[in-house]
Structure formats: structure tokens, C-alpha cells
Amino acid sequence: MLVVGAIALSLNLFVTTYAHAQHGNVKSLKAKTDMAKGLYANINAKQERIKAGSKEKMRDIGSKGAPTEEAFKQSAKTAKMAAGGVTAKQTAKIGKVMGEFKDKGLHSGKGGPVVKDPKQAIAIALSEAKVKPKKK
């Protein structure tokens, strides 16, 4: 089902690109697709353009047209990693728990035996990070 959705999305993007190219609106199409990626992606794209030599400048915090503090908060709430929809905070927690496993300091429960099975360590890490299993 995922493959079908990806094919439909890429076909839709191709058709839209072709239609905009016919009317000379390729630049506006690129701006629209960049906007759909999110606040942090937009900021990163602008920084890359500046690095490449564009004459753009980053706006100061609080100036007109700059993202508001509320926009950053909302973006942080919805920001998910592409791999499995895990937030940065959850990824850090998983890394911490797996580090404990690697150092042979991960216990099952409070003061329980040391975990030796990597699959059990992963299960504990996901549980502590409160990552919900994917629905099939």
C-alpha cells in the first residue's frame, strides 16, 4: 500500500511540475514544494542557499516575516524523524538505554538481572522511550 501511495505522489508531482513548466512557473512550484516540508526544512534550505552565494539574509528573531516563537513550538511538536516517526527526544532515550546495554549496565526491572539479549534491550529501549508499535 505504501508503494502505491509513493507512486501516486511522485506521479502527481511529475504532472504538477510538467504543468507548471509549460506555463513558466517552475520557480513558484519549487517554492511550494519547499514550503510543504516544514519550518526546519525551510530554514535549512535557506541556509544552504546563502552558503551557495545567494544574496538572501536570515531575518532577526521577532522581525516582520520571521517565524514566531509559537511557530517554532508547533514545529517542534510535529517534527518527526523519517525513520519510524520517532522524535529526537525519543531517539536520545533509545541511544542512552542501548548504551547501557552495551556497557552491560542495563537491568530488566529495578535491580533485576543484567540484560544479555539484544532483542530484549531493544524492547526495553522502545518501552522507556514510549515509542508505540506500528499498526499493521
pTM of the model as a whole: 0.40
- β-bridge mates for residue 114, sequence order: 107
Dump pLDDT digits (tens) for 27-62: 544 555 544 567 888 888 888 999 999 988 888 878
DSSP 8-state secondary structure symbol assigned to residue 83: T
The three three-digit cell numbers of residue 42, written as one number: 525551510
Q: What is the pLDDT of residues 72-110, one digit of tens each?
A: 877 776 655 444 677 778 889 999 999 999 999 999 888
Which residue bears the cell 499498526?
A: 135
Angle at alpha carbon of residue 122, lines to 124 and 88, rounded to 5°: 90
- 3-state class of 115 per DSSP? coil
6 pLDDT above the threshold of 80: no
CA nearest to 128, candidates 46, 115, 23: 115
